[in-house]
């Protein structure tokens, strides 16, 4: 028996019973179906064709609602000192907030990062597979995997599982021998290079801020502030984005986590700056006239052209309605001049206003 085990004869098919072979085959199939450690690319497919098209039909026939909305905000841009990646941390399942602390920026190696957008399970799984491949590539070839190689590998995976319901849109950012790189890859197999990207449901709001403030030669601190401000504006307008704003900076020395800031702290910071820029007090709903004279003068200039078009409809002596130019009192109220804000006597009743308009008409 010992010699049989050493030679491996006991593992030959003709040395086993048929039920033992069948049980062994079933256990092997079950292990492959429930574990991806042997081959992470061999995922078990659903028992029907074209899952992306046929699954909604089956769910509608069974009256099961699984149409979950996907939402997030991630951004990245290249500037003179490297690459910036920034993302929120909210994970949603339809209208339900599943988590406020999800990590949407994944460390693939010491010089490359990836972001998550789309289905959380798809993105997390394939980012883990990509991190594994980066490590194996470094062990086999004694050099780091480049960003272009990682992006091509993700494109091949997306093309292989196209039509299977894969929902994924990720950015790969890193620093290799060719300098900083930023590549976008999605579940349709598309791969594109650019200096600025924003992915997710809040990306239109983030891109509005990036288009205004992005420049190639900005400093590190300006880049950090621009990324945080863009994510903050997206979280304030997109219900599927929020939580913690995570900021990463990639240079030729590797990546570093600049900071993790709560959205409420950013709201307090930027709202105070906005109120200060407008000339008002953060704790007051209305600006104080004694302290906001520059604000009044600026508003006076901004609304001067608009106030010239203001007209008042008044009733004349013959009973007809005429459209008349605005009176001095109406212009004062519209412009917010110093006298009207200081409490100048203003007509309150309808008869007083009509009398004032008749005098102005004459």
Active-site positions? 72
Q: Which two tokens stand for residue 345?
A: 């006597």
For β-strands 196-199 and 244-251, DSSP reports them as unpaired
Contact 120, 91 (CB under 8 A): yes
d(Cα 360, Cα 299) in Å, to the nearest integer?
25
Torsion (CA) 204, 100, 246, 116 in degrees, nearest 10: -60
Q: Which two tokens stand for residue 171?
A: 């950015």
Beta strand residue intervals within the chain, DSSP E: 74-79, 82-87, 91-93, 96-99, 105-109, 112-115, 169-176, 179-186, 191-193, 196-199, 244-251, 254-262, 311-315, 321-325
Tokens 């004032």 sit on residue: 356
Q: Give helix 220-237 / helix 263-278 axis angle, nearest 10°.
A: 100
d(Cα 245, Cα 232) in Å, to the nearest integer?
8
Q: Which two tokens stand for residue 271?
A: 């709202």
């Amino acid at each position: 028996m010992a010699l049989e085990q050493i030679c491996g004869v006991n593992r030959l098919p003709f040395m086993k019973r048929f039920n033992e072979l069948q049980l062994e085959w079933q256990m092997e199939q079950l292990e492959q179906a429930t574990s991806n450690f042997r081959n992470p690319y061999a995922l078990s497919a659903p028992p029907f064709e074209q899952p992306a098209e046929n699954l909604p039909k089956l769910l509608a026939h069974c009256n099961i609602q699984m149409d979950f909305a996907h939402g997030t905000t991630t951004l990245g841009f290249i500037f003179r000192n490297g690459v910036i990646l920034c993302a929120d941390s909210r994970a949603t399942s339809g209208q339900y907030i599943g988590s406020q602390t999800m990590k949407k920026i994944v460390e693939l190696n010491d010089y490359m990062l990836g972001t998550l957008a789309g289905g959380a399970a798809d993105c997390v799984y394939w980012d883990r597979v990509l991190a594994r491949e980066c490590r194996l590539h470094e062990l086999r070839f004694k050099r780091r995997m480049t960003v272009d190689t990682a992006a091509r590998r993700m494109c091949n995976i997306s093309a292989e599982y196209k039509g299977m319901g894969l929902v994924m849109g990720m950015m790969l950012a890193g620093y290799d021998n060719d300098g900083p790189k930023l590549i976008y890859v999605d579940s349709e197999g598309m791969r594109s290079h650019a200096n600025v990207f924003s992915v997710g449901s809040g990306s239109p709001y983030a891109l509005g801020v990036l288009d205004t403030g992005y420049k190639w030669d900005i400093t590190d601190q300006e880049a950090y502030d621009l990324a945080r401000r863009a994510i903050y504006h997206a979280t304030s307008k997109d219900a599927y984005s929020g939580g913690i704003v995570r900021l990463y900076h990639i240079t030729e020395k590797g990546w570093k986590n600049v900071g993790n800031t709560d959205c409420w702290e950013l709201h307090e910071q930027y709202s105070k700056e906005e109120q200060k820029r407008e000339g008002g007090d953060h704790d007051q709903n209305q600006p104080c006239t004694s302290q906001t004279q520059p604000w009044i003068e600026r508003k006076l200039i901004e609304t001067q052209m608009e106030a010239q078009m203001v007209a008042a409809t008044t009733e004349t002596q013959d009973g007809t309605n005429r459209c008349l130019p605005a009176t001095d009192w109406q212009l004062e109220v519209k412009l917010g001049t110093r006298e009207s804000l200081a409490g100048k006597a203003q007509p309150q009743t309808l008869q007083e206003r009509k009398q004032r308009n008749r005098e102005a008409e004459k």
